[in-house]
Structure 1
Amino acid sequence: MPQVTSVVIGAGHSGLAVSKHLTDRGIDHVVLERAEVANSWRTQRWDSLRLLTPNWLSRLPGYSYRGDDPDGYMTAAEVTAYIEGYAKEIAAPVRAGTTVTAVRRTDDGYVVETDQDTWRARTVVVAAGGATVPSLPDVFEAVPDGLEHRVAAGSGEEGVPAYRNPDDLPEGGVLVVGPSASGIQIAHEVQASGRQVTLAVGEHVRMPRTYRGKDVLWWMDAAGVFDDRYDEVPDLARARVLPSMQLVGTPERITLDLNALTRAGVRLVGRLAGVRDGVAQLSGSLSNVVTLADLKVKRLLRTFDEWAETDGAELTKDLPPGEPVEPTMLPESVPLELDLRSGEIRTIVWATGLKPDLGFLTALGDLPLWDRKGRIRHDGGVVTASPGLYVIGLPFLRRRKSTLIDGAAADADDIVTHLAGYLAGPA
């Protein structure tokens, strides 16, 4: 049975960042990957998807974007090549095509079982991705037969294929459920194909693509918002389940929000609350939801302006002044029901989020690893219920940017620092 000091599960950007820090500290390890490096970018994204973050923000430990378009947004294929290049540059010890099936505790660490072999290790870092499996809401089961279904990303779940492009859909109307980044991008793309799209809108994070001439994520980075720490925010549980920002990466740097969708012809309705006798029940709180999103984005932009007047004065002295936020427009009458049996809707695209697939940890038995909603318990990536076990790549793991490529470096450094201290034993 092969033995290493640490097993890293997953060869995406987070797992590779951990590998780089382990190597720098002289800690022997292996990276087990069920498919190939950057597999989710290779296989679980729709055709037109680009990174939400500008290329310059794709920083990894000892590695950064080297192309000629730092302010652009990489395609999924380009992200795959970028992460593959990183794996080669750091000579990460990746074992591809190796699916972890179980992680078990032993007296001196862990046994990691795979479909190829079994490893012994003193520590395990789970970098299997925080957004791997589609998260379908309970209402999915109540939808009447006869409709086509797609999930926005991931490998599909419960027999539901992943959305790829509009040509993948049958003719007819499309209901997109979920107004975050995936939902608004797919709604916009499908509407442009000539199909009528209805977007069911719940809580969302409105965001302009640019502000005062700079990418909005430049502001998030420069003003330190991305570096907000998990042990400093007032409501961490809430911060970890916030929807993704309404952004799209395009060469034109367009802002894609609900107003842009309305102008494109997309019909906005309230959150999909249930389905009864084939009729979708829609929340009547749409006006309140968009008002709250408008207030929050105005507050964020004020934060940027305040920073620009103080610590960021030198960086921003030549930038134009800010522009007021246009209120989200809604029609005078918003329906509260949508008959799914009428034929008006032929396809439902579920842009309702993704969740990690950590089933291999259930072999750890009765340890208190999970909260009441089935999410793994951890303290900034340290799984306190099982010493020597770590996770990385989950929302707001240690910082607001934890799920971004750019967030992996600092989180991996912190986790490997803790791991090294654990290996050294009590001081």
Structure 2
Amino acid sequence: MASEASASSCAIHFDNLGFSNQQSLSISAKLTKTRKAGETNKAAEFNFFENADSVIQFFKQLGFQQSHIQKIIICEPRYLVSRAHKTLKPKIQLFNDLGMSESDVIQTILRNPIILRQRLGPTIHALKNVLGSDENVVTILKKVTRNLQCTANYFIPNVELLQKYCGISSDTIQKHILRRPNSFIVKTDLLRDTLIKVELQLGIPRDSSMFFYGVNFLLSCGEKNIKDKCEVFKSFGWTQSDIMKLIRLNPLCFTSSEARIKERLGYLMNQMGYKPNYLATQPILFMCSKEKRLLPRHRVLQILQEKGLIRMDYLLSSAVSYSESVFLKRFVLPFEEVHEVYAQLIGSTLDSLNHGEEIIAKTSSLTDFEGERAIRKDYLLSSAISLSESVFLKRFVLPFEEVHEVYAQLTGSTVESLNVGRCKSQS
């Protein structure tokens, strides 16, 4: 009965600190469990509530909002029995010494709430040893979500293992670490086993550009999780061979949740009509956003193909691989027929598209021809061959007498037939 009363008293006090009753009970239960396990400092139990207040005030002074503090304390209640100025402040100073801004510190702690409970000095030393600069260390600390305790012991041996196993430079490894640090902050034996599995089980050779993505895939997804995702693909008629082909081309396709994979397969196969053997060769269709890229670009291609403005067999996978600026330049801005539709689908406006057209026009390169008949020197062949024959003639051949004879010879036609085409296009 006494312990229940104590827990109730704690919960009431936590409620006064801004926590809900349910949150207060959860924090109280976690602290009771750690006390029984002897994980908290007995000295900190003296005037516990005053100490808890000082910790919360400390976080507020760092710039954390009340909702941030609640998230941190719920995840790691033992902060409430830490000495703010003796334990927490020196670790914040380590962050400041690296050049972290206030927003950097907040982002780092919110992403990894237990980070201030760990020995940061040896961790930062190991990171700096490999990454070289304080700026790179800050990048890692802002991204990492794993327990950093093992970093000091395993990080450098892991890098040495990767250099020996993959035969790649430290600069290349550094780039991968900065991109996905969690995959490299693991026990060295686990990393070694994973490297072998990427080659033997996934079939991705160590010299492949996808090798490190395979490492990240296996370390971030457990065996059961991978098996469950395979079953989702198989429920849509995929074979194991199809699945492995997709993984080899880009393992990151499998890092999405089962629900997202199922939704994407439903769209690509049931609505778009794609078959497994084709989709297995097009990882880009699984990597990009459906709402922001797949749907809008598919609709644009549909309209342009229906109007005969681009080839009927132009592939969606090619279109979605372009950056937004390149797609606008090639498939949207030149065709008023799709301006309004595309603007609506991406949540933009016609004015913004026209503004983009003005910017592109002003920044175009010098031209091959003088005067109003000019085309850009950097106009890409891939853009030209995507156009239908009639559109290509209208844009790039008929207006320029300088190319009539050459084009006629190369296409097995005659200059007269081109002139006939010109008359038709003008009529």
Q: Is the TM-score greater than 0.5?
A: no
TM-score, structure 2 normalization:
0.18
